[in-house]
Amino acid sequence: MEPEPPDPILIQVTVPLPTGMIYAGLTDPAKLSGWLCEHAEVEPRVGGRYRLTFGGEVPFESVGSVRSLTPDVDIGFEWAGPPEFATLMNGPPPSTSVYVRLQESPEGIDVTLEHLGWGAGEAWEAARSWHFHFWDERLHAFKEYLLKAAYG
């Protein structure tokens, strides 16, 4: 019997700012490079490019396209992982995708990130674990970035 694929990664932060400011942080290349990556190219339309360039010890690029987009509500894009997981998850097309949705809550706007498409097995578990920590760190950096931009 083949093992079950793991659940999607699901991470949420609440940001007490207007929806438009938050959504721009997901679609504006200049803002994306302030919290997520070193360089971004985004064409905010379904089928448009979503390319993120990361530096650091192990530089990589995640090149894909926008899969879904509703202004000020959500964006979904293909995700290509770092070199250590490239043969496992980078396609073409990439085997995983990221979906971010914004929803009003009493404390502000809930920003929920879901990373889907994980396969089963030890290699996939390692990739999912790495990405869980990556997205958890980056989504909290997103909140800090937005609050600093709004309030200094």
Q: Where are the domains of the chain?
A: 9-151
Residue pair 104/111 in contact by the 8 Å Cβ criterion: no
Architecture of domain 9-151: 2-Layer Sandwich (3.30)
Say what the pTM is.
Answer: 0.94
**Mean pLDDT to the nearest integer, 40-57:** 96
Chain segment 53-88, per-residue pLDDT in tens: 999 888 999 999 999 999 999 999 999 999 999 999
